[in-house]
Chains A and B, each alone.
Chain A
Amino acid sequence: MSVLALRHVSRSFGPIEVLHGVDIALRPGRVHALIGENGAGKSTTMKILAGYQPPSSGQVLLDGQPVSFASMGEAEAQGISMIHQEFNLAEQLTVEQNIFLGRELKRGPLLDKPAMRARTRELLDRLECRVSPDRVVSTLSNSDKQMVEIAKALLRDTRVLVMDEPTAVLTRAETAILLRQVRALRKAGTAVLFTSHKLDEVEQIADDLTIMRDGRVVWTGEAAAMDQHAMANAMVGREMSDLFPAKVSTPGEVALEVRNLTVPGFSRDIGFTLRRGEILGVAGLIGSGRTETFEGLCGLRPATGDVKIFGQPVRIDHPWQAQDLGLCYLTEDRKTRGLLLGKGLRENLTLQALSKFDRGLIDTTAEERALDQAIADFDIRGHRAAMVGNLSGGNQQKLLFAKTLLADPRIIVIDEPTRGIDIGTKQQMYVLIRRLAAEGRAIVVISSEMQEVIGLSDRILVMRHGRITGELGADATEDAIVKLAMGVATEREPA
């Protein structure tokens, strides 16, 4: 007996039908994984389940009875909660205030703060989250925000919990905690819907599995019947060849030499060299200072140290200085640091290399040609006149690549090249990154996905607590990286 189900649900936006007759059933005490490429219809399916959107046709069944939720509030009152990929937290309020937002405990007319404090502590302890209840949410890391979202759902005695890519921003350790929580919820009889691009997690946690492609369910059944390879094939609808292109690097001259790079508060004494044609992977837990180190290198934060670019000692205090030297940083955060979501494709594409189009006035014809070229080269799909905020994550990421590459950098730092994008697009990105290396550019790839670091890199640096704890070759194992990243291998040595 399912607690919440969709029967023959279709959904149209204007003239375009994006879901075609979807059936899915969530059962109490089971984890149901929903997977598919970006644009396959997962998000719409989840939103209909959680009462955010009504179906255009078909039925939503709650305990077998057709229901129609007028709002998400009604769905929530029935015990259905959804945790979004983009957090739904009031940034200026504290953790405690967020968890109790809208259902504050009261004693008479006043807030019962001790009771709320105690309950918050208890919920956070359950999640093994060591954040203080009175921290302001805007100061939290993404993973801690995720935990606050989950604590919020836990407070609401949820019967059905819909989680949209909850692990996308989490480290391995945090993911393990999250999965443990999901198992606990399952044991308590909650029905969980879980989406993820990380198929190994799906394999670990899912009882039931539904695979979507192009707005249809292409496979559904017991998760145990599918292995990762079969899932990937069903998602893309074709045989996935090896995800990563062959490593055929021929390292050339030294492009970048870094000594004693220190980013106050984040990392210390970072040193490495990078050659042309080489892909250097940087692994480490979230919070190990990877992003901040390279932002410091590229003039995006205050940093000290000796940096040589093609043998020349350089001083970089601002990102535009780095770009003038041929060094570009491609951010992990495309929505708030990478792209102007309220502007069009053309303005975004040329923003970083606008001087190339500046003949006193901006040459818009040349800009349009560059956009044609980028759309063709990077396979950017979507409306040419669309606002960038309306593109899918994968297309945004491609546009971000195109934008950075328009500046023609010789050295590129790519932070999380494939966060939140589907497996087909991922493969395109990997091919692209390898091609950039083959063109003779020097590349740094920062990634939290072990497979990505291993599959892509010629060499791997591992960071922990703001320091480089080791360097591994192209044949590194996941185990070796994890040991260095967690400090297992070095902890026995006297400090």
Chain B
Amino acid sequence: MSDATAPAPRRIRMTVIGPILALVLLVIAGALMNPNFLGWDNVTNVLARSAFIGIIAVGMTFVITAGGLDLSVGSMAAFIAGLMILVMNSLVPSMGAGIPVILIGMAVALLAGLAAGLLNGILITRLGIEAFIVTLGSMGIYRSLVTWLADGGTLSLDFTLRSLYQPVYYGGVFGITWPIIVFAVVVVIGEVVMRSTAFGRHCAAIGSNEQVAKYSSVRVDRVRLMTYAALGLLVGIATIMYVPRLGSASSATGMLWELEAIAAVIIGGTVLKGGFGRVWGTVIGVLILTLIGNLLNLTDFVSPYLNGAIQGAIIVLAVVLQREGKAR
């Protein structure tokens, strides 16, 4: 071929710049509509609100890239929050309301998240049941369990513990709160793992063609299982950051988080059928979703009740752009 030595044409793809462009436009629009928008308080507020979904969405990026899906993360978070509060409250009489109880509560959250993720992963990989079905089932189970634990009401954290635990959400260093710091750390690690490790490469290979991965001696089931386990662990981390915010859990906790996380992943340019994923894109996706809600609250053009409608439209638009990028 005569073009064998020509350099690769570096085409700017809509799938790459699309999400960035959308984010920039949102920021500009926000700054024009409300002078407080770019203020320190609002920016940290947006970032902190993004953190829960964001931490989960980073894990979801790996699951989706490897060709899977997890619908259970929202109710999993609610269940973990409920479990965590129950355990901590029950330890207060014997151990007193102190830091050790909170640390035990955090450990419970991490272990419960890991176990829940592993359970999803084992059902999917060992029994070969569709991820959609397994996680639809576990979504219902966890949601129901937290309602049962709370006896239909709300589980509240012991009052003394609550004030001890609150700094995990409200405190921070140099004015940056802990959720934002944890989110940033998770994102950096996630990006490196996706981009430059064998695990990330294997996720993309499995998602783009599971048969090829299998025939290439990739340990397909183990990699898959690890994506669900990692996601479960991240749900645990997100819950640890979330519980001190309200100090309670109910059947409404974490409602629709799974959809927001999946939406953020897709808006960020990860392919829903798997095979290609990028963590930084997911971060942009999360920010876009949070910013829309934030903007609607700050301005009075559009009712905040239409938040869901606008988010929905953006998700559909993102997928349309993805397809155009592919056709080219």
**Known A16-B1, A340-B205: A362·B197 in contact at CB below 8 Å:** yes
Binds A, one of B207-215, B289-297, B306-314: B207-215
Q: Shortest distance in angstroms between A477's beta carbon and chain B's nearest beta carbon? A: 34
A345-369 interface bits toward B, Cβ cutoff 8 Å, 1 = contact, 0 = none: 0010001101100101110100000
Bound CA–CA A328/B216 (angstroms) = 9
Binds A, one of B2-10, B159-167, B173-181: B2-10
**Chain B residues with CB below 8 A from A360, complex form:** 197
Task: Determine whether A318 belongs to the interface, using a CB cutoff of 8 Å to chain B.
Answer: yes
**Chain A residues with CB below 8 A from B202, complex form:** 354
Q: Shortest distance in angstroms between B216's beta carbon and chain A's nearest beta carbon? A: 4
Q: Report A342-392 residues with CB < 8 Å from chain B CB.
A: 342-343, 347, 351-352, 354-355, 358, 360-362, 364, 381-385
10 contacts between A and B (CB under 8 A): A318-B219, A340-B208, A342-B276, A343-B205, A343-B208, A347-B201, A347-B205, A351-B201, A355-B198, A383-B4
Task: Give 5 nearest A-B pairs by CB, closest first.
Answer: A385-B8, A320-B217, A361-B196, A323-B217, A352-B216
Partner of B215, one of A337, A343, A381: A337
Task: Determine whether A329 belongs to the interface, using a CB cutoff of 8 Å to chain B.
Answer: yes
Bound CA–CA A364/B276 (angstroms) = 18
Task: Determine whether B192 belongs to the interface, using a CB cutoff of 8 Å to chain A.
Answer: yes
**Known A16-B1, A358-B198, A385-B8: A322·B205 in contact at CB below 8 Å:** no
Bound CA–CA A15/B217 (angstroms) = 40
Task: Determine whether B30 belongs to the interface, using a CB cutoff of 8 Å to chain A.
Answer: no
Q: Report B242-265 residues with CB < 8 Å from chain A CB.
A: none
Q: Shortest distance in angstroms between A2's beta carbon and chain B's nearest beta carbon? A: 32
Q: Shortest distance in angstroms between A361's beta carbon and chain B's nearest beta carbon? A: 4
Task: Determine whether A58 belongs to the interface, using a CB cutoff of 8 Å to chain B.
Answer: no
Bound CA–CA A341/B212 (angstroms) = 10
The answer to whether B215 and A331 touch across the interface, beta carbons within 8 angstroms, is yes
Knowing that A16-B1, A16-B2 touch, tell me 13 more A-B residue pairs with CB under 8 angstroms: A300-B214, A300-B215, A319-B214, A319-B217, A323-B217, A347-B204, A351-B201, A355-B198, A364-B196, A381-B4, A382-B1, A383-B6, A403-B216
Q: Shortest distance in angstroms between A29's beta carbon and chain B's nearest beta carbon? A: 38
The answer to whether A381 and B201 touch across the interface, beta carbons within 8 angstroms, is no
The answer to whether B3 and A342 touch across the interface, beta carbons within 8 angstroms, is no
**Chain A residues with CB below 8 A from B192, complex form:** 361
Task: Determine whether A421 belongs to the interface, using a CB cutoff of 8 Å to chain B.
Answer: no
Task: Determine whether B218 belongs to the interface, using a CB cutoff of 8 Å to chain A.
Answer: yes
Bound CA–CA A319/B216 (angstroms) = 8
**Chain A residues with CB below 8 A from B216, complex form:** 319, 351-352, 403
B202-243 interface bits toward A, Cβ cutoff 8 Å, 1 = contact, 0 = none: 101100110111111111000000000000000000000000
The answer to whether A362 and B201 touch across the interface, beta carbons within 8 angstroms, is yes
The answer to whether A338 and B215 touch across the interface, beta carbons within 8 angstroms, is yes
The answer to whether B197 and A383 touch across the interface, beta carbons within 8 angstroms, is no
How big is chain A's contact interface, by range? 35 or more
Task: Determine whether B275 belongs to the interface, using a CB cutoff of 8 Å to chain A.
Answer: yes
What count of chain B residues pass the 8 Å CB interface test? 27
Q: Shortest distance in angstroms between B113's beta carbon and chain A's nearest beta carbon? A: 25
The answer to whether B212 and A337 touch across the interface, beta carbons within 8 angstroms, is yes
The answer to whether B211 and A336 touch across the interface, beta carbons within 8 angstroms, is yes
**Known A337-B215, A382-B4, A383-B3: A354·B198 in contact at CB below 8 Å:** yes
Task: Determine whether A339 belongs to the interface, using a CB cutoff of 8 Å to chain B.
Answer: yes
Bound CA–CA A384/B214 (angstroms) = 25
The answer to whether B205 and A351 touch across the interface, beta carbons within 8 angstroms, is yes
Closest residue to B214 on the A side, CB-wise?
A: A319
**Chain A residues with CB below 8 A from B4, complex form:** 381-383
**Known A323-B217, A407-B217: A337·B211 in contact at CB below 8 Å:** yes
The answer to whether B218 and A351 touch across the interface, beta carbons within 8 angstroms, is yes
**Most A CB atoms within 10 A — which of B196, B209, B212, B216?**
B216
Q: Shortest distance in angstroms between A466's beta carbon and chain B's nearest beta carbon? A: 22
Q: Shortest distance in angstroms between B86's beta carbon and chain A's nearest beta carbon? A: 40
**Chain A residues with CB below 8 A from B2, complex form:** 16
**Chain A residues with CB below 8 A from B6, complex form:** 383
Bound CA–CA A15/B6 (angstroms) = 12
**Chain A residues with CB below 8 A from B217, complex form:** 319-320, 322-323, 328, 352, 407
Partner of A339, one of B196, B197, B212: B212
**Chain B residues with CB below 8 A from A343, complex form:** 204-205, 208
Closest residue to A351 on the B side, CB-wise?
A: B216
**Known A300-B214, A320-B217, A362-B196: A340·B8 in contact at CB below 8 Å:** no
Bound CA–CA A355/B192 (angstroms) = 17
Q: Report A85-135 residues with CB < 8 Å from chain B CB.
A: none
The answer to whether A336 and B212 touch across the interface, beta carbons within 8 angstroms, is yes
Q: Shortest distance in angstroms between A218's beta carbon and chain B's nearest beta carbon? A: 19
Bound CA–CA A339/B216 (angstroms) = 9
Q: Shortest distance in angstroms between B148's beta carbon and chain A's nearest beta carbon? A: 40
The answer to whether A338 and B214 touch across the interface, beta carbons within 8 angstroms, is no
Bound CA–CA A362/B2 (angstroms) = 33
**Most A CB atoms within 10 A — which of B197, B212, B219?**
B212
Q: Report A381-419 residues with CB < 8 Å from chain B CB.
A: 381-385, 403, 407
**Chain B residues with CB below 8 A from A382, complex form:** 1, 4
Q: Shortest distance in angstroms between A370's beta carbon and chain B's nearest beta carbon? A: 14
**Chain A residues with CB below 8 A from B3, complex form:** 15-16, 383
The answer to whether B198 and A319 touch across the interface, beta carbons within 8 angstroms, is no
Q: Report A305-326 residues with CB < 8 Å from chain B CB.
A: 318-320, 322-323
The answer to whether A340 and B209 touch across the interface, beta carbons within 8 angstroms, is yes
**Most B CB atoms within 10 A — which of A331, A360, A383, A385?**
A383
B1-33 interface bits toward A, Cβ cutoff 8 Å, 1 = contact, 0 = none: 111101010000000000000000000000000
Bound CA–CA A329/B211 (angstroms) = 13
Partner of B1, one of A323, A341, A381: A381
**Chain B residues with CB below 8 A from A362, complex form:** 196-198, 201
Bound CA–CA A340/B218 (angstroms) = 13
**Most B CB atoms within 10 A — which of A16, A319, A329, A338?**
A319
**Chain B residues with CB below 8 A from A329, complex form:** 215
**Known A318-B219, A320-B219: A383·B208 in contact at CB below 8 Å:** no
Bound CA–CA A361/B218 (angstroms) = 17
Bound CA–CA A275/B1 (angstroms) = 41
Q: Shortest distance in angstroms between B169's beta carbon and chain A's nearest beta carbon? A: 33
**Chain A residues with CB below 8 A from B214, complex form:** 300, 319, 337
The answer to whether B8 and A342 touch across the interface, beta carbons within 8 angstroms, is no
**Chain A residues with CB below 8 A from B219, complex form:** 318, 320
